[in-house]
Structure 1
């Protein structure tokens, strides 16, 4: 009898053999952990210097307040878009931390828990570290995504055509998101904003495997399937 292979491992095996994109699933994608953009990033203002204020205190969290979950849906594209916003959008002026934002994504994962560790590892590469969050909070930094396209990449369709029975959970699909990542904050008393293109792929399983779409894994930032 063939050994059991989890959905995430099947994706890794299929893509690494067929298209050499294993790095898209397990690579680390880090991208600008401070308000200032890298030299290659477009910006609407000059690079900020060290804050001249003592910092910006976050708005107190109401008792029992949590971040909104990714809405339940059987529509794969709608789920991909909502998950993309939940993944990229955050605000240090609110009394939440990176773990709170990460939990929203993990809660939308495989309910069996098989891929929880892998998905959590993927999510950490999208979010600032705890130390970086402290720095970002001194600027009151917030980040948000505008989506240009959400599409099933051609390489995924080719992978499905070449997959052998049982390699992937029924209803598994990949969606690549392209758009712009924005950041805004306050340096001293001056509002500043940066923006840069962003692209990534979400690997999703919907019906008949689950009664609502679930997130299996993420590509690294800016290394999506095309």
Structure 2
């Protein structure tokens, strides 16, 4: 039996690290309630992100199943809806043939119908997804991701935010839900599956009844910088 080459192990270790960190650089700064308390977001939207590892492969992997985009299930319960958003937000597959903007559209579809937070929400989502360049690199290894949720709760800081809000700044039924869980990634290296896991925490801002019959997404906090 051939003994594995040491350099191959080192290369594989660097690949696993890259898979776990491809979206570590975020394009937003600050947390809190974002535009919810500060008014409509500015029109600037920085979609820049650090590209993925510069590694080449012979060809892109071929999907073994019919590609599909995730779906955000509707709900009139804030915590249930926030969990549905989080599940869809973290569910992507670079081998599906879709691009980051396709996954972004899935989340934007459940945004506030008024469109007031739409520009800011698009920037929020972009910070959770790999950049286009990183996506193309990760596609060579059929990198996919999903989220397991451990806990959801309405943070104590939200009560303070509501107290500080001026009349009319927050629509009735607006609430923050903090989610804690584990991000899972899988990929292929030399026809062998590799995995990585990373704990994550973030806050989802939603608006539900009585403003709307079903909940809608307003904004997302910075990843790993949630309201507590």
What's the TM-score once normalised by structure 2's chain length? 0.75
Name the residue aligned to 1:54.
58
Q: Partners of 2:127 and 2:117 in 1: how far apart? A: 16
Q: Partners of 1:113 and 1:61 in 2: how far apart? A: 35
Q: Partners of 2:90 and 2:37 in 1: how far apart? A: 23
Question: Once the 2 structures are TM-superposed, how far is the Cα of residue 115 of structure 1 from its aligned partner?
Answer: 1.4
Q: Cα RMSD between the aligned structures?
A: 2.8
Name the residue aligned to 1:212.
214
Count of aligned pairs = 191
Name the residue aligned to 1:9.
35
1:151–1:177: 8 Å Cα contact kept in structure 2?
yes
Q: Partners of 2:70 and 2:89 in 1: how far apart? A: 12
Question: Once the 2 structures are TM-superposed, how far is the Cα of residue 68 of structure 1 from its aligned partner?
Answer: 4.1
Name the residue aligned to 1:196.
198
Q: Relative contact order: is structure 1 or structure 2 higher (C-alpha 8 Å, sep ≥ 6)?
A: 1
2:68–2:96: 8 Å Cα contact kept in structure 1?
no
Segments of 5+ residues of structure 1 without an aligned counterpart are 1-6, 14-25, 37-48
Q: Deviations over 1:154-205 (max 9, x none)?
A: 1002222343321211000000111111111011122111111111111100
2:55–2:137: 8 Å Cα contact kept in structure 1?
no
Name the residue aligned to 1:130.
132
- Which stretches of structure 1, 4 residues or longer, exceed 6 Å deviation after superposition? 26-30
Name the residue aligned to 2:12.
none
Q: Deviations over 1:18-70 (max 9, x none)?
A: xxxxxxxx99997x975x8xxxxxxxxxxxx946x4133343997xx862431
2:61–2:141: 8 Å Cα contact kept in structure 1?
no
Task: Give the secondary-structure state (helix, strand or coil) at the position aligned to 2:95.
Answer: coil
